[in-house]
Structures are given as C-alpha cells and as structure tokens.
Amino acid sequence: MCGRYTIVKSAEELEKQFEIDINKEVYQPSYNLAPTQIAPVITNASPKQASFLQWGLIPSWAKDQSIGYNMINARSETLLEKPAFKTSFQNKRCVVLVDGFYEWKNQGKLKIPSYISLTSNKTFALAGLWDSWKNPTGENVSTFTIITTKANTFMQQIHQRMPCIFESNQQIKLWLDENISASEHFSLLQPIENEKMKMHEVSVLVNSPKNNKPSLISHVENFGTLF
C-alpha cells in the first residue's frame, strides 16, 4: 500500500537527477501528496519530461471517474489479470517521483504514521501505470497508479506491502523502454534491499491532506490529538 508521499526537491534538482525537463509553472512541491491530486511523473510516452497526472487510475473504458478512488495502487502480482491494469502495463508505464512516502502501523486502536525514505537521502521513483480517460465534456484526464509488491523484511515492521522502488536512472529507462519483453519489465518489480531504506515515526497531522508543511516529516516521540 502507498497512500501518501512527498516530493519537495526543486524543479532544477529533479531535472538534473532524472535528466528531464519540468514545467516550473506547473510543478508544486508537496509534503503530503494524496490521491486525486496532481503529481509529476515520467511516462513512456514522454520520457524526457515530467508529465503532470492525477493520482488514481481511471481506465480509458471507465464509465465515470469514481473508479479512480479505488485505483491508487496496483499489485504487481496481478497486473496481467486485472482489466484496469493489463493494457497499461503493456503500453502505458510510468514512474512517480518521490522523496519519501508515508505508511501506517496499527497499534491497538491507533494508526501510527511513519515516513520512509532512502538512506542516501536521494529522490527516487516508484513504478507506476498511467491511462487517459475522456470525461463527459470531452476533456482528456490523464491519471496514474503506483505499483506495489510484497514488503521486504524492513517494511514488514509496519506493513505487508510496499511500493516498487527504482533508485537508478537505468532502472527507470528499462521500465519505460517499449522494446523489452513483459518478463523483463516484471523482473524490475522487486522489493528494494533492506539496508537502503530508513524510517521514523511522524505526527498524525499527516493523516489530513489539508496539512502540508515541512514539519510533517519530522521525527516525533509522542502523539497528540488528531488535527
């Protein structure tokens, strides 16, 4: 599961690291990016620039956009079994640019949030799929979903699933490559090594998408009341 994340590096830093162009008038850094919001991704259709898509996949054949609320994640093990993901896996792959993501651990009646990032402190990419849907007014709405896999032992402390992480540009290029086989694409969807990840508990203020500030990723020892 991956239901919230951050992307706060400057456009210039992202351009340099991922070798892409970013529309600086559109890009909005976020400490609490949530489903239905617009986010920067790199698609196989435009691998040299950041595209700005809505989080929550709406398949091209969908009757209405509400399906997107249930399509923020896609399980890697069943990509070819789900009609909503099969075509996109074959033709519309993307990566989602993130600095880190949030996950929640059940502790009695509480859900304690943690912030997970790489020990290198670098921005990284999450494997994703995208699609384009035409709304009732005829406007094209491009959306994406984040692919998850079974958690490595590090992530199993708090959850049984985790996003598929690409830490190198080479992995990204392979995922977006239209000239390699499906089996080669599947081989990329593995849990990242435990030692490359770090996490710490954060404030429950992150539970509300209305909260979006640097302090959300700060380590906390005690939890107060909900926003």
CA gap 56, 69 in Å, rounded? 6
Eight-class DSSP state of 97: E
CB contact set of 145 (below 8 Å; sequence gap of 6+): 55, 56, 57, 71, 72, 73, 74, 85, 88, 128, 129, 130
Tokens of 56: 């929550």
Task: Return the bridge partners of 104, or none.
Answer: 113
| CB 143, CB 56: distance < 8 Å | yes
The catalytic position among 77, 103, 139, 221 is: 103
Burial level of 82, CB count in 10 A (0-12/13-18/19+)? middle
Query: Catalytic annotation on 195?
Result: no
Query: Catalytic annotation on 164?
Result: no
CB atoms within 10 A of CB 207: 16
* Closest to 116 in 3D by CA, of 174, 201, 21, 11: 201
Distances (CA, A) of 4 to 18, 46, 87, 118, 153: 22, 25, 25, 16, 21
| CB 31, CB 217: distance < 8 Å | yes
List residues with catalytic annotation. 2, 103
